[in-house]
Structure 1
Amino acid sequence: MKKEKVIVAMSGGVDSSVAALLLKNQGYDVVGMTLRLWTEDSENSHGSNNRCCSVEDVEDARRVCQMLDIPHYFVNFEKEFQEHVVDYFVSEYDSGRTPHPCLACNDKIKFDFLLRRALFLDADYIATGHYARLSAGDDNFHLLKGIDGSKDQSYVLYTLTQQELSRLKFPVGEYTKTDIRKFAEEAGLLVAGKPDSQEICFIPSGNYRDFVKERVKPKTGNFIDTDGNILGEHPGIQFFTVGQRRKLGINPNDGEPRYVIKINSESNEVVLGADEDLMETDFTANKLSFTSKVEVDAEMEVKARIRYKAKEEPALVILRDGYADIRFVEPQRAITPGQPVVFYQDEEMIGGGIIEDLVVNAPIDSNSETIAVF
């Protein structure tokens, strides 16, 4: 009987390496594939080797595949990554929004272009090192949180469709990070102790402001308070994000700390206020995606998460035509346009969208004054 073929997206890190190990041990025909996504050009690299898909990472992936006795391929997706991740990242900051590049990379690069490449190569599945789980129901696949709550990555997978879920494997999601490192050590994998990446992969310095500034010329504008009074001049909206306190470049006369409350791209203004001004309950989201079919005007009680490490909080979601109205039971701090909001019911991630606008003190529905807390 022919083995089912799985192509594993291998970054050279411990998670994707162990994903390949686990799948091979489960009897699959495993192929490792490393994606070339971004290489800093010599003009901007300043002699460093800080780049996405570095030579060291590619070599680590190749050597792991050699140890596992599986094929390894290196494929170029730089053009696609530039268009769908880097250009999006710069455009969002230039519009006063805060992007999530890992979400864009997962959506378009790994689970669109890579999946299509894998199917072209007659693979049955692709696999990644994401900490998430899949459960097959009678009619649908269900995407569940990873066993390790501190590493759960279901938040950045909300765009996955049923067709994509049917072709995916997340082998490390059934284990904790400690387990994964232990498996790597026991198998003698050279990446067992390799540190996790922490920064945006194409900005290893972590300085996104300089990265955006090199690509889009900033336009000066005004800082204003919540009443519209001008407080001073800012160097460009691309340098700010909702909730920011540091590096504002302004010293209030009253000595009280100021935070970015809102960024208005049309007027090129940055609204500053007190910490309590960041607390909101109501907002809208667009670019919605759900793992199963949902109806317009449907109301759902969910737990919603508005950032990667945030706690899920009870909320009511009302689906409209192309967007959703969302209300948290309790006010949440710094609900940030451009970031994902992701919906959960128990352990299942059911969908999400991109935060669009805050709706201050505006009721969602006159018949929905209270929401059950569960």
Structure 2
Amino acid sequence: MSKGKIIVGVSGGVDSSVTALLLKEQGYEVEGLFMKNWEEQLPGGECMWEADVEDAMQVCDQLDIPLNTVDLASDYWDRVFSNFLEEYKSGRTPNPDVLCNQEIKFSAFLSHATDSGAEKIATGHYARITEVNGHYQLRKGLDCNKDQSYFLCRLNQAQLSLSLFPIGELEKHEVRELAKEAGFQTHDKKDSTGICFVGERPFREFLSRYLPEQAGEIQTPEGEVIGQHNGVFYYTLGQRQGLGIGGIQGASDSPWYIYKKDIENNILFVVQGHDHELLYSQKLTATDINWVSGAAPETPFKCAAKTRYRQADQACTITHIDNNSCSVTFDEAQRAVTP
């Protein structure tokens, strides 16, 4: 007897393939659902979604489960990509994967799945969910090198209660081994990296299609103009590459790094040396906070945080939670904290 209907977000990759495999082996009624999130006639339309859906079809055929497709391109544009552009215009460096999980995979996709009769959805994320007295905890995946809980940080209790992450208890090599044993051609498929809609082109080239170049100055902390740039929104704090600075009289041979952006005046400020003090911050203010538990904890409290995906957890203290923001003080100063 089936445990219930689960719709799996199949992407044509090895992780979602094994997710579907595990759930079927556990006795669930499993269906695959492939999301199309980008219009092929738009820049970035060369995303390999057609090849991916073929891989998804082959896996679902091998598992003898149905596969459907849902077109969420309009939702993605309105709820993720538009925000992505606005953030860049404001001089920030957004992570569209975080918003995609909140607004598309665990909202639009989830709604479509439950409307189709699913009790829950499942995805190939390396993360875990633990239920404790009716409350759902989002936990890191067992494989610390592949952990994706960072990208799921904006999920709420309702979304977690309707989600499963079957491979969260596995390491990547185990997932590939299971796929190979099952005869999936996806067992050695390369992991997707970067932002799908950017395609294979350089990121700045892609962004320039939506945010026209705006020439501006590159200055030192003292206000000396030492170069030109094409728009502050093309750059991020801590960046070294692509500045085109060299041969500055009186300067050393040390590389230059961006430490500040003046959005209003379109100016980049740079310093020399990877470990220059102006690249470091001890404190930050976090805004637009999502408390996964559903309620803010009492302050102050100690925890670990990170300001970018691949960064190791950093010890810190949280204080002054107010109006959906809080103060974060790190035990050790952090380099190139980027909004």
Which bin holds the TM-score, normalised by the shorter protein? over 0.9
Show CA shifts across 1:178-232 (max 9, x none): 1000100111112111111122111121511111101121222222222344333
Going from structure 1 to structure 2, the CA distance change for 1:167 and 1:9 (only over 3 Å counts) comes to same
Unaligned runs of 5+ in 2: none
Show CA shifts across 1:300-336 (max 9, x none): 2111111111100100112221211111000111111
Kept after mapping to 2: 8 A contact 1:225/1:271: yes
Kept after mapping to 1: 8 A contact 2:227/2:244: no
Q: CA deviation at 1:101?
A: 1.4
What CA RMSD, in Å, does the superposition of the two structures yield over aligned residues? 1.7
Q: CA deviation at 1:267?
A: 2.1
The question of 1:67 aligning with 2:69 is answered no
Kept after mapping to 1: 8 A contact 2:7/2:33: yes
Which residue matches 2:290? Answer: 289
Q: CA deviation at 1:296?
A: 7.7
- Aligned AA (1:221): G
- Aligned AA (1:302): C
The question of 1:268 aligning with 2:266 is answered yes
CA distance in 2, matches of 1:161, 1:242: 30
The question of 1:163 aligning with 2:158 is answered yes
The question of 1:9 aligning with 2:9 is answered yes
The question of 1:27 aligning with 2:27 is answered yes
- Aligned AA (1:305): K
Matches within 5 A, 1:34-45: 34-41=34-41
Which residue matches 1:298? Answer: 299
Which residue matches 1:189? Answer: 184
Unaligned runs of 5+ in 1: 338-374
CA distance in 2, matches of 1:320, 1:39: 40
Q: Is the partner of 1:298 in helix, strand or coil? A: coil
Which residue matches 1:238? Answer: 233
- Aligned AA (1:326): V
Q: CA deviation at 1:14?
A: 0.2
Moved more, 248-257 or 102-111: 248-257
Percent identity among equivalent residues?
38
Going from structure 1 to structure 2, the CA distance change for 1:40 and 1:172 (only over 3 Å counts) comes to same
Kept after mapping to 1: 8 A contact 2:157/2:294: no
The question of 1:278 aligning with 2:274 is answered no
Kept after mapping to 2: 8 A contact 1:297/1:320: no
Show CA shifts across 1:226-273 (max 9, x none): 234433332111221111011112223313321010112122211111
- Aligned AA (1:325): S
Show CA shifts across 1:24-49 (max 9, x none): 1111111100001114327x57xxx8
Which residue matches 1:18? Answer: 18
Q: Is the partner of 1:335 in helix, strand or coil? A: coil
Equivalent in 326, 329, 332 of residue 330 of structure 1 = 332
Matches within 5 A, 1:47-86: 50-52=46-48, 54-86=49-81
CA distance in 1, matches of 2:256, 2:163: 45
Which residue matches 1:128? Answer: 123
Which residue matches 1:198? Answer: 193
Show CA shifts across 1:75-105 (max 9, x none): 1001111222222222222222111111111
Moved more, 144-153 or 81-90: 81-90
Q: Is the partner of 2:101 in helix, strand or coil? A: helix
Kept after mapping to 2: 8 A contact 1:296/1:320: no
Equivalent in 102, 109, 113 of residue 97 of structure 2 = 102
- Aligned AA (1:26): Q
CA distance in 2, matches of 1:188, 1:298: 52
